[in-house]
């Protein structure tokens, strides 16, 4: 019996099924269709394992429904009048899943690793009531062990300790310290377990959030993971990242995000425990929104809306930094439009890739910006991992989300949206300092790629859409 016609018919049925399931994401679908057509049946199996996104609508339904029921104590929500240029943006972000925009906050922008970790260690050591940490990576090295040792010490002192990590990113914690932390009364969970991911479509949905909440009064929102390399002690040398350290009412919103993720991973429901929402107004009045996104929010990713909104609202200047450059069409067109209209649009990317396919994928996306007048710079002093965008020195985005398809569609991410000329100035100055360690990457350089480099560009772009 000739099975080739059967394979062809089955493959056609599979492709049509994928077209129907992924009709909201046509660009990604086209590439998977090419793969399925090239590798009949095998391509479809790979699509089910790594590429499909429709399953997330059902896989995370419990989390989505549970999260919708939780709320911040209404007595702690203080509404206030934003600058007219920000009021519409804050409402749009809230309607797309972000928190309320709250005032009464103090925000400090941090761009050096030593400052970030020193501040985090100090705050953790002063904790009196609870410590909530959520990180994609917690390395099994000196920095990771120090974090765990502080958590153990605080748990023994009666502080409520909860640690949530992504098992794909972290893989394994030091067993002795993990055991000691549990013995001291602390709790640690992984967002997903690798053993349950092998045959699950969730394997591509990683918890990439980086949040620390101390006593419900101070929040660290960043691109930093926990480990020696993020202190510049790894193969890349100097590590440039970014964070905001926040005190004020908005900290309650980061507490809520953590507790929602904790409930999903551990089944311990603390989301509506009002004693854990302890934020107080600071001495300043900086408006901040908590933005987050993930596969549990299909079509309403507030971080994507955040980047689109900043690019749309800014008129004179848009400066952004990202290690992985792959903006959606909505962001790409706005950045191109603003550059063509004469705005100062600049992008900093690394001059090295920490993953296969990243280097030339970044440069392909850069070419789509540069031909409209956007200036792109390569950072040479180690590795730049910061995920930031500042528009007109006022609209400020900082957090865990890269400007790429994975962060917008697959990962769980968390950012801060800050409306502040003070913070905008800090971010602008840090960007200008970074430019001193950069060289401009030009359209001419891109066009002069060798044949091998052109093949690498194609493969990198192809892989970026698939993975």
Annotated catalytic residue within 63, 304, 338, 385: 385
Annotated catalytic residue within 63, 130, 154, 208: 208
385 catalytic residue (yes or no) = yes
392 catalytic residue (yes or no) = yes
Annotated catalytic residue within 63, 154, 192, 210: 210
Annotated catalytic residue within 387, 404, 434, 456: 387
208 catalytic residue (yes or no) = yes
66 catalytic residue (yes or no) = no
CA distance 264 to 64: 10
Annotated catalytic residue within 67, 215, 261, 351: 215
Annotated catalytic residue within 241, 261, 392, 404: 392
215 catalytic residue (yes or no) = yes
Residue in 435, 434, 431, 420 with CA at minimum distance from that of residue 108: 420
304 catalytic residue (yes or no) = no
Instruction: Catalogue the active-site residues.
Output: 208, 210, 215, 385, 387, 392
């Amino acid at each position: 019996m000739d099975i080739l016609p059967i394979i062809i018919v089955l493959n056609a049925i599979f492709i049509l099924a994928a077209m129907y399931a992924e009709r909201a994401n046509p660009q990604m679908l086209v590439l998977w269709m090419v793969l399925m057509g090239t590798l009949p049946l095998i391509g479809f199996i790979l699509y089910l394992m790594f590429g499909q996104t429709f399953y997330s609508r059902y896989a995370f339904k419990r989390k989505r429904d549970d999260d919708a029921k939780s709320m911040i104590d209404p007595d702690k929500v203080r509404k206030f009048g934003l600058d007219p240029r920000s009021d519409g943006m804050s409402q749009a972000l809230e309607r797309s899943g972000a928190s309320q925009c709250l005032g009464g906050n103090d925000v400090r922008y941090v761009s050096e690793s030593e400052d970030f970790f020193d501040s985090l260690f100090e705050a953790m050591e002063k904790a009196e009531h609870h410590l909530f940490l959520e990180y994609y990576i917690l390395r099994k090295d000196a920095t990771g062990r120090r974090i765990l040792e502080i958590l153990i010490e605080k748990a023994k002192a009666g502080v409520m300790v909860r640690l949530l990590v992504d098992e794909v990113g972290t893989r394994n914690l030091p067993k002795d310290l993990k055991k000691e932390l549990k013995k001291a009364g602390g709790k640690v969970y992984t967002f997903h377990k690798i053993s349950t991911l092998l045959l699950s479509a969730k394997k591509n949905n990683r918890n990439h959030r980086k949040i620390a909440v101390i006593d419900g009064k101070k929040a660290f929102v960043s691109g930093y993971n926990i480990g020696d390399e993020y202190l510049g002690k790894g193969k890349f040398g100097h590590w440039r990242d970014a964070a905001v350290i926040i005190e004020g009412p908005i900290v309650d919103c980061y507490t809520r995000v953590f507790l929602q993720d904790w409930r999903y991973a551990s089944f311990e429901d603390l989301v509506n425990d009002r004693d854990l929402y302890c934020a107080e107004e600071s001495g300043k009045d900086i408006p901040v929104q908590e933005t987050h996104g993930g596969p549990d929010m299909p079509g309403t990713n507030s971080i994507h809306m955040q980047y689109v909104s900043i690019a749309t609202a800014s008129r004179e200047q848009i400066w952004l930094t990202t290690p992985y450059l792959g903006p959606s069409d909505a962001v790409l067109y706005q950045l191109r439009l603003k550059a063509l209209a004469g705005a100062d649009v600049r992008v900093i990317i690394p001059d090295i890739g920490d993953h296969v396919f990243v280097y030339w994928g970044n440069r392909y996306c850069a070419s789509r910006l540069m031909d409209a007048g956007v200036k792109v710079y390569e950072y040479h002093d180690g590795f730049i991992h910061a995920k930031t965008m500042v528009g007109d020195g006022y609209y400020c985005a900082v957090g865990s989300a890269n400007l790429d398809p994975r962060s917008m569609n697959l990962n769980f991410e968390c950012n801060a949206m800050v409306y502040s000329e003070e913070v905008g100035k800090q971010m602008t100055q840090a960007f200008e300092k970074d430019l001193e360690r950069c060289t401009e990457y030009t359209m001419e350089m891109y066009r002069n790629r060798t044949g091998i480099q052109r093949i690498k560009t194609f493969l990198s772009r192809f892989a970026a859409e698939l993975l």
